[in-house]
Amino acid sequence: MNKIGLLGCGAVVLVVAAIFFFVLVGGYNSLVSSDEAVKSAWSQVENVYQRRADLIPNLVATVKGVANFEKETYTAVTEARAKVGSIKVTPEMLSDPSAIARFQQAQGELSSALSRLLVVSENYPELKANQNFLDLQSQLEGTENRISVERRNFNQTAQAYNTMIRRFPRNIIASLFGFKEKAYFAAAEGSDKAPEVKF
Mean pLDDT of 118-141: 85
Q: How confident is the model at residue 119 (pLDDT cuts 50, 70, 90)?
A: confident
pLDDT given at position 147: 95
Which of 34, 53, 60 minimizes the C-alpha distance to 156?
Answer: 34
pLDDT reading at 121 higher than 50: yes
Does residue 39 contact residue 94 with C-beta atoms inside 8 Å?
yes
Does residue 129 contact residue 24 with C-beta atoms inside 8 Å?
no
Q: How confident is the model at residue 69 (pLDDT cuts 50, 70, 90)?
A: low
pLDDT tens-digit map of 139-183: 999 999 999 999 999 999 999 999 999 999 999 999 999 999 999
Q: How confident is the model at residue 197 (pLDDT cuts 50, 70, 90)?
A: very low
pLDDT tens-digit map of 175-193: 999 999 999 988 766 554 5
Mean pLDDT of 113-124: 84
Please give the model's pTM, rounded to 2 decimal places. Answer: 0.83
The mean of the pLDDT values for the chain is: 87
Instruction: Give percent of the chain above pLDDT 90.
Output: 53
pLDDT tens-digit map of 83-96: 998 988 888 889 99
Which of 185, 154, 179, 157 minimizes the C-alpha distance to 166?
Answer: 179
Which letter, b or e, does each residue of 141-162 get, where b requires 16 or more Cβ atoms within 10 Å of its Cβ?
Answer: eebeebbeebbeebbebbeebb
pLDDT given at position 194: 45
Domains of the chain (ranges plus CATH)?
12-177 (1.20.1440.20)
